[in-house]
A and B are shown apart, each in its own frame.
Chain A
Amino acid sequence: MRGTLGSQRAWLVLGVLSGVSWTAAKISVPLLAAGAIDNGILPGNSQAILVYSLVIVAVGVVQGLSSGFRRYCAFRIAYRSETDLRQRLFAHLQRLHFAFHDEAQTGQLMARANTDIFQINQAVILIPLTIASSLTLVGVVTVMALQSVPLTLLSLGALPLLNIAATRFSKRMQPVTTQLQEKLGDLTAVVEESVAGVRAVKGFGSERLQERQLDHEADAVRDRSLESARLRSGFLPLVDFLPALALVAILWYGGHLVLNGELQLGYIVAFNSYVLMLIWPLRMAGMLVAQASRASAAAGRLDAILVTDPQVVDKPGARELPPGPGEIRFENVAFGYHGGRPIFTDLDLLIRGGEAVAVVGTTGAGKTTVARLVPRFYDVDGGRVLLDGTDVRDVKIHDLRRNIGIVFEDTFLFSDTVRDNIAFADPQAPMETVRGAARLAGADEFIDDMPDGYETIVGEYGYTLSGGQRQRLAIARAVLADPRVLILDDATSSVDPTKEHEIRAALREVMSGRTTLIIAHRPATIALADRVVLLDGGRMVAEGTHDELLESTERYREVLAQAAAVEAASTVERVP
């Protein structure tokens, strides 16, 4: 926070200066008006009246200009720090390791970057406003006290009550507001359910039941709202009443001072203006306290993220990946997620350069974990993972990952053009390379059929693709950079079995000439591999070709049958 504010020192200085001149102008106007009455109007000095009027206009110009400046500076600083902070947070989140993202919920992180930063922004906006308010307060009290201390006390004495009332009001209002929000939430839930579950509602003819529920919630909302109106009716009129008391005091006590010749008549007018001037600063004081506490809570939550250091980072002296055929070797690897139950205690595995190996096992056997340790999404707890003879932890992460292409089960596509999605690893790639990758992945035909071809926007807000099409784009994305190692992490499992053969053909194509690690449970996909490795209980229990293992290993047959049973039980016409 301090750093982001520091870079804007110039705006800060300008903001404070214009704030000071604004306050000075604002305070002098009532004084000048009083002067005009006492020195011009009452003695009937028309030249003095003219001079005073012109000076007031001139001060008005100053007040107007500095009002614009201080506003601009204050908000500029606030928005700049908000933007910078959000940028920092995003960059940090992008660098944080997989394990962090496994535990953090996207919604939570979104709230950090959105609402929490907004809360901080609101507090920053209040800082210069508060400075100006305090200056006004000090200035006004000084000017008034110079005229008459008792009158100042009498007229301003009641105003702090406004502040106390405001604090009390917001304290009592808060639980009611929370309850009201909760009740509104309950009401929304009834509506959402009734609409989303309209088939169930209509199917059973239970509209009456839902209507009764809604009425119940609507009653609760009304009751809470009335309660909040009751609280408001206790506070809001005070905002007019307390200053009015001050004005009465000025008229009465000030009037008597004038009658006694201790005060000039013009000050009655000036003091009236001053009281009105102080209403806002006093009300804001309460807001500032509340906002400051919200902002500090928000800052605490943000800080918790920003101080989390990325765990998977380049070692000092990390080097480029030396050239090689893409040989992967696990040596005595031990690993568990977040320090929890170990997945592997002592795993040895060798995948020779250019070889295609399928890793098979039941859920939780660690198939996917194998795939995630190679590109260093996680670091091993013991032993080491070697790529072409180099410990992956000794290689620059950027270089390591650029040499590995991954197709995830969840084919996340960005809301961007087909072209940019395929060229994700290398946005500068020439169109020929992009087309080549698409062709290799068997995606070129359907891309050409899309409304804008390679320029079609896909992703959440774009053109809707079938599961198989998404998968082929993900494959094209993985092979675009011509990686040494290709990892297919359950890449075909979300594809309709009847369409799977199309993807398989594409896969066979892209696998040739690369080391390929296949995580799969469908025999047809497993058959793409030269060799199969069976994982069970955190270690490799068997290896061989698919046919050999089918023949020799009972556990292998069990694992496959289990997977097939789950799938056969599911639909015949699964919607992709």
Chain B
Amino acid sequence: MRGGGGGPFGQHAIEEKLTRHDATQVLRRLVPYLRPYRVRIVFSILLLIGQTACLLAGPALVRHGIDAGLRKNDAGALNLSALIYLFAAIAGLFFGRAVIRMVAKVGEAFLRDLRSRVFRHLMSLGMDFFEREKTGKLVARMTSDMDALQELVQMGLVMFVQNGLLFVGAILVIFLMSWKLALCTLVVVPPVVIASRWFRKASNKAYLLVRDRIGQNLSTLQEGLAGVRVVQAFARERAFTRRFQETNEAQYDANIETVRISAKYFPIVEFAGVAGIALIVGIGGAFVSADIVTVGTVAAFVLYLNNLFEPIQQLSQLYNTLQQAGAALQKLFELLDTPPSIAERPGAVDLPDEGGLELEHVSFGYGAEDVLHDISLRVPLGERLALVGPTGAGKSTLAKLIARFYDPREGNVEYADVDLRDATLRSLRERIVVVPQEGFLFAGSVRDNIIVGKPDATDEQIRDAIAALGLVDRFDAFPDGLDTEVRERGSRLSAGEKQLVSLVRAALADPALLVLDEATSSLDPGTERTVERALGRLTEGRTVVVVAHRLSTAARADRIAVVDDGHVPELGTHDELIAHEGRYASLYAAWDSRAAMGRAS
């Protein structure tokens, strides 16, 4: 609860501020994205101006009605004013409707494109990118950042422009009516502007604190619930409730601070509004006596006052929405600027259908330090090689280089004598397939999950793949067969079933070289045997590199490479390595004695 810090709760990310320079940059980059919509954008602005004119016409017509109609006892002039007012109102209704639709069309099309473009770019980035960045952060680009833009498109943008036009328009109109009275009236505007700026900044800061405190409070709450058994086991309910009280009250204090700020701001604004009326009535009254303005003008000024104050408050609030959207765009552009580390070379060739794998003096590291040091390995066509070694020794990294998730820092990886860097990505992914055995399942049906590697596969091909692994019975047992929904991350399937789906997926893709990352979780013995049998059939006749977590798997491979600290100190068949009495032999001895216990039954 001390390092709690925020969390995904509370209001929007208010702290994201853009400097003027950044804002200019973002705007500049935005221009090409908006170019396709330029006609509609210009049209939208015209509509907005029309709508604003209709809104601003009201008080002017009241003025005309008073001066030309009421003061001169001319019913005709009064009727005309009212009639024009009615038309202005109706026109405003249609303008308003058209503006919302037009802006939505442009904005939503823009967002749709941006989503697609950002995602495509994301998918083109290399594994190094995904390992460096946290999943949550990447997802946030496509969710909360897009939401900030969506909010702007849906409400903010129209309101922002509308209020800006209204404010400027109102000032313009009152100056045209009487610049002297206008100058006197505008005295009340600067305090409101200053107060609004102060309010925006103070409340942003306060809400940021509220968000932090909510986050902290929620994490205490979460701990209190997740750890309730420990709390009760040690009879600490009362103490823990007191602990919650601290964060709970801290959240209250932060909330009250926001209340204090608005309790200071709104009185100023309301008072300024009333003071404005007093000014107009007082000075305007004197002007009427001096014949500088008419009564109608005084009345119109009182009514225009609303059009000055509302926009200031609205714009001040909308400024946040605008800032957030700007910050979101900036982050999205940054993402779009990240170059893919694994790109296809110009003139890349397709990999041959079959061939052996060869690593020559391969060194690699994620950061400054190398994880793999000068490794050379040959895996001839059809051989099954197991990589064995402690966690962090570099087994998985080696597997990733073989699949070209990364390019080596030094040396090269070749398949059928073609450097992977010279191969087309499509042929690479067809020949070499990586199978995390602990299969990752996507939301959708079992079929959707199987065709991942071959989207155009027919049901017959799928059934063949299932049959090839001897899993017909298991797949027939699913409630809706291939149409069984697996739900998010496959939570409806058991761990064993997930592995089987993952294996069928690989069988359907039918690669020449299979890179298998063995599962670490244990299954019940029956399923375990099914998985092993399917695995045996899958690897049959293929070149296979398996990252082995179990020595039983390693023992079944043609050859074993012991990976330790980025080197391959031992390489050979099971019997050779046992005879060698090195690391593998001692690992095997330790494992065997424990397995013996299990075999005793």
Asked if A195 and B598 make an inter-chain contact with CB atoms under 8 angstroms apart, the answer reads no
Q: Is A101 an interface residue (CB 8 A)?
A: yes
**Interfacial residues of chain B within 221-257, with CB under 8 A of chain A in the complex:** 221-237, 239-241, 244-245, 248-249, 251-252, 255-256
A416 CB to closest chain B CB, in angstroms? 7
Q: Is B181 an interface residue (CB 8 A)?
A: no
CA distance A101 to B237 in the complex (A): 14
**Interfacial residues of chain A within 146-205, with CB under 8 A of chain B in the complex:** 184, 187-189, 191-205
Taking CB as reference atom, which chain B residue is nearest A249?
B82
Asked if A573 and B391 make an inter-chain contact with CB atoms under 8 angstroms apart, the answer reads yes
Asked if A205 and B123 make an inter-chain contact with CB atoms under 8 angstroms apart, the answer reads no
Q: Is B571 an interface residue (CB 8 A)?
A: no
Q: Which of A94, A272, A406, A570 contacts B522 (CB 8 A)?
A: A570
CA distance A214 to B103 in the complex (A): 24
**Contact flag A187-B142 (CB < 8 Å), given A41-B288, A90-B241, A218-B116:** yes
Asked if A71 and B263 make an inter-chain contact with CB atoms under 8 angstroms apart, the answer reads yes
Taking CB as reference atom, which chain A residue is nearest B123?
A207
CA distance A397 to B430 in the complex (A): 64
Asked if B232 and A377 make an inter-chain contact with CB atoms under 8 angstroms apart, the answer reads yes
CA distance A185 to B248 in the complex (A): 31
Q: Which of B86, B124, B150, B435 contacts A207 (CB 8 A)?
A: B124
Taking CB as reference atom, which chain B residue is nearest A247?
B58
Contact segment of A352-360, A540-548, A555-563: A555-563
Q: Is A259 an interface residue (CB 8 A)?
A: yes
**Contact flag A202-B282 (CB < 8 Å), given A64-B268, A196-B135, A229-B101:** no
Contact segment of B17-25, B294-302, B374-382, B538-546: B294-302
CA distance A190 to B507 in the complex (A): 24
Q: Is A320 an interface residue (CB 8 A)?
A: no
| B-side contacts of A414, CB under 8 Å | 1, 223, 227, 230
Asked if A237 and B93 make an inter-chain contact with CB atoms under 8 angstroms apart, the answer reads yes
A-B contact pairs, 10 of them (CB 8 A): A29-B277, A64-B271, A87-B248, A196-B440, A225-B150, A241-B90, A401-B232, A569-B528, A569-B598, A574-B520
Contact segment of B33-41, B63-71, B408-416, B572-580: B63-71
Q: Is A269 an interface residue (CB 8 A)?
A: yes
A105 CB to closest chain B CB, in angstroms? 9
Further contacts, 14 of them, CB under 8 A, given A110-B225, A255-B65, A259-B70: A60-B270, A68-B263, A114-B218, A187-B115, A195-B135, A200-B439, A200-B452, A204-B433, A205-B453, A210-B123, A268-B299, A415-B2, A557-B601, A571-B549
The 4 residue pairs across chains A and B that have the minimum distance between CB atoms: A205-B429, A60-B274, A237-B96, A229-B104
| A-side contacts of B224, CB under 8 Å | 90, 93-94
CA distance A86 to B597 in the complex (A): 53
Q: Which of A101, A195, A425, A461 contacts B4 (CB 8 A)?
A: A461
Asked if B267 and A562 make an inter-chain contact with CB atoms under 8 angstroms apart, the answer reads no
CA distance A255 to B81 in the complex (A): 10
Q: Which of B97, B260, B523, B550 contacts A572 (CB 8 A)?
A: B550
Asked if B2 and A83 make an inter-chain contact with CB atoms under 8 angstroms apart, the answer reads no
Asked if B85 and A575 make an inter-chain contact with CB atoms under 8 angstroms apart, the answer reads no
CA distance A266 to B228 in the complex (A): 68
Q: Which of A36, A192, A477 contacts B135 (CB 8 A)?
A: A192
Q: Is A7 an interface residue (CB 8 A)?
A: no
| B-side contacts of A293, CB under 8 Å | none
CA distance A459 to B453 in the complex (A): 40
Q: Is B436 an interface residue (CB 8 A)?
A: yes
| A-side contacts of B569, CB under 8 Å | none
| B-side contacts of A404, CB under 8 Å | 233
Q: Is B320 an interface residue (CB 8 A)?
A: no
For chain B, give the interface size range. 35 or more
Asked if B442 and A572 make an inter-chain contact with CB atoms under 8 angstroms apart, the answer reads no
Asked if A401 and B135 make an inter-chain contact with CB atoms under 8 angstroms apart, the answer reads no
**Contact flag A200-B230 (CB < 8 Å), given A64-B267, A573-B390:** no
CA distance A52 to B225 in the complex (A): 63
**Interfacial residues of chain B within 135-164, with CB under 8 A of chain A in the complex:** 135, 138-139, 142-143, 147, 150, 153-154
| B-side contacts of A228, CB under 8 Å | 154
A214 CB to closest chain B CB, in angstroms? 5
Asked if A269 and B237 make an inter-chain contact with CB atoms under 8 angstroms apart, the answer reads no
Asked if B601 and A412 make an inter-chain contact with CB atoms under 8 angstroms apart, the answer reads no
Q: Is A61 an interface residue (CB 8 A)?
A: yes
| B-side contacts of A54, CB under 8 Å | 278
A54 CB to closest chain B CB, in angstroms? 8
Contact segment of A42-50, A129-137, A510-518, A529-537: A42-50
Asked if B271 and A61 make an inter-chain contact with CB atoms under 8 angstroms apart, the answer reads yes
| A-side contacts of B231, CB under 8 Å | 94
Q: Which of B111, B255, B263 contacts A69 (CB 8 A)?
A: B263
User: Which of B78, B105, B267 gathers the greatest number of chain A CB atoms within 10 Å?
Assistant: B267
Interface string of A42-77 (1 = CB under 8 A from B): 101010011011101101110111011101100110
Q: Which of B82, B120, B434 contacts A251 (CB 8 A)?
A: B82
Q: Is A138 an interface residue (CB 8 A)?
A: no
Q: Is B100 an interface residue (CB 8 A)?
A: yes
Asked if A80 and B252 make an inter-chain contact with CB atoms under 8 angstroms apart, the answer reads yes
User: Which of B61, B227, B425 gathers the greatest number of chain A CB atoms within 10 Å?
Assistant: B227
**Contact flag A222-B112 (CB < 8 Å), given A49-B281, A237-B92:** yes
Asked if B111 and A206 make an inter-chain contact with CB atoms under 8 angstroms apart, the answer reads no
CA distance A66 to B268 in the complex (A): 11
Asked if A236 and B104 make an inter-chain contact with CB atoms under 8 angstroms apart, the answer reads no
Q: Which of A91, A252, A566 contacts B79 (CB 8 A)?
A: A252
| A-side contacts of B154, CB under 8 Å | 225, 228-229, 232
**Contact flag A229-B549 (CB < 8 Å), given A199-B440, A206-B453, A252-B79:** no
Taking CB as reference atom, which chain B residue is nearest A113?
B221
Asked if B286 and A46 make an inter-chain contact with CB atoms under 8 angstroms apart, the answer reads yes
Taking CB as reference atom, which chain A residue is nearest B509?
A204
Taking CB as reference atom, which chain B residue is nearest A575?
B391
| B-side contacts of A211, CB under 8 Å | 116, 119-120, 123
Q: Which of B89, B109, B248, B522 contacts A567 (CB 8 A)?
A: B522
| B-side contacts of A416, CB under 8 Å | 1-2
Asked if A52 and B549 make an inter-chain contact with CB atoms under 8 angstroms apart, the answer reads no
Interface string of B284-319 (1 = CB under 8 A from A): 111011000001001100110010000000000000
B299 CB to closest chain A CB, in angstroms? 5
Asked if B237 and A95 make an inter-chain contact with CB atoms under 8 angstroms apart, the answer reads yes
B126 CB to closest chain A CB, in angstroms? 9
A410 CB to closest chain B CB, in angstroms? 8
A155 CB to closest chain B CB, in angstroms? 12
**Interfacial residues of chain A within 422-464, with CB under 8 A of chain B in the complex:** 424-425, 427, 457, 459-462
